């Protein structure tokens, strides 16, 4: 079996085809059976049984192909362009399984040879994963809000693993979850996550769905899922896309997303069971849509530029997805989502797109001078495969109980180089890069104790006259909890993680 059969199927630019998705969190129970951990046996069953319940890359690719074949057929039948075809549901669902460090420790506790996972090596090779997202030092580093403001689920100390299941409908996802729970012996080998003790149960999952009236758009109204690193040997490069091969040190982008036994900064190689896996960063990110709209309106009222233009400055793209660096003004081109997808092969050459804009902070596109070369910069790449959650803001403007946001999920071969470097050293840091561009207005964070009523974040944009303006505002996105996971390869799981 090659990579397509070994790597779990969501670790790819296209990810699961999905309208609905659940993230189910579980803890591992460790009763021993015939001197072996019951969970390890269930995991082996899960990864070897047919039909497969955990998807490989090949399976996910086949599902995408099924959709595109049907789309082509319908386009011919109806005599309309493929992009305009509205397909009825093609029933499908796919699942991924991932573990926290606590989960791996629970598995190891039930293995006969308790040194075999070499978790002390993991502490050296992947310290961020080893620490997890919940310790106070990590909250301080990421500038996340204090844990008592997180959703109860993520305050639990019992999250050992997660199932990410995406499908064509809620019904398909529920059925898939039920089948996996059966194989993993829910109630015996795994159980729901509890906050402190079994007497204080908490909802053990969070669900998201594509917005019914605005497919593909997140809650601020932008087209998402345009720019993804492509992987050699797995992706074909489509016209207008940027393969992100502008990486001198690492010519194979696969190495930036899928784990090998690379040594990186550590002198110790990774244990063999970590090959062909990936690290999954999960964060529930609440979006304050009213604050976003107010901010863009203020810019317009001040006479700087239109609110649409302000939105594009914050994001680095127009709502259609067209990059501001390519389409300078709000024209028909900047409104066309089909064109936007074909405009992703660009680099930053001037300040038409603010240096602090979300997509410019998080993907440098060769935007580095010799002076501010960061050794991690060129290998800081992530694949993002999250989904929105919650009710739309529009129509619910006055209901403060209803919330909304993004179930953010990203894959990378190294958390320190990927998510952590982006969040901590780029988005939160107002001095990154040359000069003082300010914080990333979308995901930049300041420590909770320094948040105030007069605005937490500061970013700098030129107005239409080229005058540099300070823009101060409250954080638009609030983290509600999250965790770091490892997504093992299929062979690692069917082989007791290398036993
Ligand atoms: Fe971001 N959004 O939906 O408004 N993001 N993001 N992101 N993001 C991107 O290019 C958004 C978050 C990246 O290659 C787009 O596909 C929101 C985190 C990266 O040019 C939009 C949240 C991190 C890119 C959004 C959020 C990143 C990117 C443009 C939180 C990492 C690719 C569509 C609620 C730490 C940049 C696209 C490139 C693009 C949104 C979070 C990273 C619309 C609302 C936490 C690398």
Query: 218 C-alpha to center of ligand 1: Å?
Result: 10
Rounded Cα gap, residues 8 and 22, in angstroms: 17
Q: Is 315 in the pocket of ligand 1 (CB under 6 A)?
A: yes
Long-range contacts of 389-393 (CB under 8 A, 24+ apart): 389/206, 389/207, 389/208, 389/209, 389/284, 390/219, 392/211, 392/213, 392/214, 392/219, 393/219, 393/289, 393/290
Rounded Cα gap, residues 38 and 107, in angstroms: 9
ipTM of this predicted complex?
Answer: 0.99
Q: Is 285 in the pocket of ligand 1 (CB under 6 A)?
A: yes
Q: Is 156 in the pocket of ligand 1 (CB under 6 A)?
A: no
Q: What is the pLDDT of residue 43?
A: 93
Ligand 1, residue 285: give the atom nearest the CA.
34
Q: Is 404 in the pocket of ligand 1 (CB under 6 A)?
A: no
Query: 272 C-alpha to center of ligand 1: Å?
Result: 32
Query: 499 C-alpha to center of ligand 1: Å?
Result: 39
Rounded Cα gap, residues 22 and 176, in angstroms: 10
Question: Over the chain, what HEC string results?
Answer: CCHHHHCECCCCCCCCCCCEEEEEEEEECCCEECCEEHHHHHHHHHHHCCCCCCCEHHHHHHHHHHHHHHHHHHHHHHCCCHHHCCCCCCCCEEEEEEECHHHHHHHHHCCCCCCCCCHHHHHHHCHHHHHCCCCHHHHHHHCCCCHHHCCHHHHCCCCCEEEEEEECCHHHHHHHHHHHHHHCCECCCEEECECCCCCCECCCEEEEECCCCCCCECCCCCECCCCCCCCCCCCCCCCCCCCCCCCCCCCCCHHHHCCCCCCCCCCCCCCHHHCCCEEEEEEEEEECHHHHHHHHHHHHHCCCCCHHHHHHHHHCECCCCCECCCCCCCCHHHHCHHHHHCCCCCCCCCCCCCCCCHHHHHCCCCCCCHHHCCCCHHHCCCEECCEEEECCCCCCCCCCCCCEEEEEEEEECCCHHHHHHHHHHHHCCCCCCCCCCECCCCCCCCCHHHCCCCCCEEEEEECCCCCEEEEEECCCEEEEEEEEEEECCHHHHHCCCCC
Nearest CA to ligand 1 atom 45: 443
In 10 A of CB 350, how many CB atoms? 7
Q: Is 281 in the pocket of ligand 1 (CB under 6 A)?
A: no
Rounded Cα gap, residues 29 and 391, in angstroms: 35
Nearest CA to ligand 1 atom 40: 224
Ligand 1, residue 242: give the atom nearest the CA.
14
Nearest CA to ligand 1 atom 39: 359
Rounded Cα gap, residues 36 and 368, in angstroms: 52
* C-alpha closest to that of 206 among 469, 409, 63: 409
Nearest CA to ligand 1 atom 19: 362
Buried residues in 153-178 as b, exposed as e (16+ CB within 10 A): bbbbebbbbbbbbbbbbeebbbebbe
Q: Is 292 in the pocket of ligand 1 (CB under 6 A)?
A: no
Length of the chain: 499
Query: 63 C-alpha to center of ligand 1: Å?
Result: 25
Residue 264, token pair as written in the block = 């990186």
Q: Taking the chain (499 residues) in consecutive chunks of 10 residues, what is each chunk's mean pLDDT?
A: 89 96 93 70 91 96 96 95 90 98 89 78 94 97 95 92 98 98 94 76 90 87 90 73 48 77 72 93 98 97 95 97 91 82 86 95 78 72 95 94 97 95 96 90 91 80 93 95 97 74
Q: Is 380 in the pocket of ligand 1 (CB under 6 A)?
A: no
Nearest CA to ligand 1 atom 41: 443
Q: Is 409 in the pocket of ligand 1 (CB under 6 A)?
A: no
- CA distances to 18, 39, 184, 497, 499 from 35, rounded to whole Å, are 40, 12, 18, 17, 14
Q: What is the pLDDT of residue 249?
A: 41
Q: Which of 133, 208, 358 to mutate to test the pocket of ligand 1 (most atoms within 8 A of CB)?
A: 358
Query: 408 C-alpha to center of ligand 1: Å?
Result: 9
Rounded Cα gap, residues 307 and 318, in angstroms: 11
Rounded Cα gap, residues 22 and 120, in angstroms: 32
Q: Is 479 in the pocket of ligand 1 (CB under 6 A)?
A: no
User: Which residues, including other chains, have CB under 8 Å from residue 232's CB and lie 6 or more apart?
Assistant: 252, 253, 254
Ligand 1, residue 427: give the atom nearest the CA.
35
Q: Which of 354, 384, 428 to mutate to test the pocket of ligand 1 (most atoms within 8 A of CB)?
A: 384
Nearest CA to ligand 1 atom 24: 359
- CA distances to 55, 56, 160, 235, 273 from 11, rounded to whole Å, are 10, 9, 20, 12, 17
Query: 359 C-alpha to center of ligand 1: Å?
Result: 6
Which residues pair with residue 469 across a beta bridge? Answer: 461
Ligand 1, residue 225: give the atom nearest the CA.
16
Q: Is 211 in the pocket of ligand 1 (CB under 6 A)?
A: no
Q: Is 363 in the pocket of ligand 1 (CB under 6 A)?
A: yes
Report whether 472 contacts 450 (CB < 8 A): no
Ligand 1, residue 218: give the atom nearest the CA.
3
Q: Is 214 in the pocket of ligand 1 (CB under 6 A)?
A: no
């Amino acid at each position: 079996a090659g990579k397509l059969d070994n790597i779990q199927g969501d670790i790819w630019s296209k990810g699961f085809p999905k309208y609905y998705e659940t993230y189910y969190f579980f803890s591992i129970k460790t009763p021993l059976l015939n001197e072996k951990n019951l969970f390890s046996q269930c995991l082996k069953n899960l990864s070897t049984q047919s039909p497969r319940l955990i998807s490989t890359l090949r399976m996910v690719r086949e599902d995408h192909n099924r959709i595109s074949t049907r789309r082509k057929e319908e386009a011919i039948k109806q005599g309309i362009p493929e992009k305009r075809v509205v397909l009825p549901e093609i029933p499908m669902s796919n699942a991924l399984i991932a573990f926290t460090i606590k989960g791996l420790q629970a598995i190891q506790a039930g293995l006969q040879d308790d040194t075999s996972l070499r978790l002390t090596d993991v502490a050296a090779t992947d310290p961020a994963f080893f620490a997890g997202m919940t310790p106070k030092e990590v909250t301080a580093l990421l500038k996340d809000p204090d844990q008592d403001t997180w959703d109860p689920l993520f305050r639990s100390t019992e999250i050992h693993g997660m199932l990410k299941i995406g499908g064509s409908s809620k019904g398909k996802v529920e059925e898939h979850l039920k089948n996996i729970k059966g194989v993993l012996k829910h109630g015996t080998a795994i159980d729901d996550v509890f906050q402190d003790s079994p007497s204080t149960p908490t909802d053990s999952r969070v669900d998201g769905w594509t917005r019914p009236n605005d497919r593909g758009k997140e809650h601020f109204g932008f087209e998402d899922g345009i720019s993804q690193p492509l992987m050699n040997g797995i992706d074909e490069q489509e016209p207008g896309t940027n393969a992100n091969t502008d990486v001198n040190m690492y010519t194979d982008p696969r190495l930036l997303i899928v784990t090998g036994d690379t040594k990186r900064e550590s002198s110790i190689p990774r244990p063999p069971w970590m090959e062909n896996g990936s690290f999954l960063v999960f964060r529930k990110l609440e979006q304050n849509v009213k604050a976003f709209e107010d901010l863009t309106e203020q810019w317009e009222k001040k006479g700087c530029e239109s609110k649409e233009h302000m939105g594009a400055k914050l994001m680095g793209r127009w709502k259609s997805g067209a990059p501001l660096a390519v389409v300078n003004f709000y024209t028909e081109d900047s409104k066309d989502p089909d064109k936007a997808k074909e405009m992703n092969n660009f680099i930053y050459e001037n300040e038409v797109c603010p240096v602090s804009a979300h997509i410019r902070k998080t993907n440098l596109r060769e935007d580095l001078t010799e002076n501010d070369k960061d050794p991690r910069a060129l290998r800081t790449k992530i694949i993002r495969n999250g989904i929105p959650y919650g009710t739309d803001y529009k129509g619910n403007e006055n209901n403060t109980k209803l919330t909304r946001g993004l179930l953010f999920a990203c894959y990378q071969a190294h958390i320190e180089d990927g998510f952590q470097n982006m969040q901590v050293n780029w988005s939160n840091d107002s001095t990154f890069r040359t000069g003082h561009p300010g914080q990333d207005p979308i995901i930049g964070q300041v420590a909770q104790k320094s948040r105030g009523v007069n605005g937490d974040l500061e970013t700098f944009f030129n107005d239409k006259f080229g005058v540099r303006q300070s823009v101060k505002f409250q954080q638009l996105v609030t983290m509600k909890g999250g965790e770091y996971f490892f997504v093992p390869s299929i062979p690692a799981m069917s082989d007791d993680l290398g036993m």
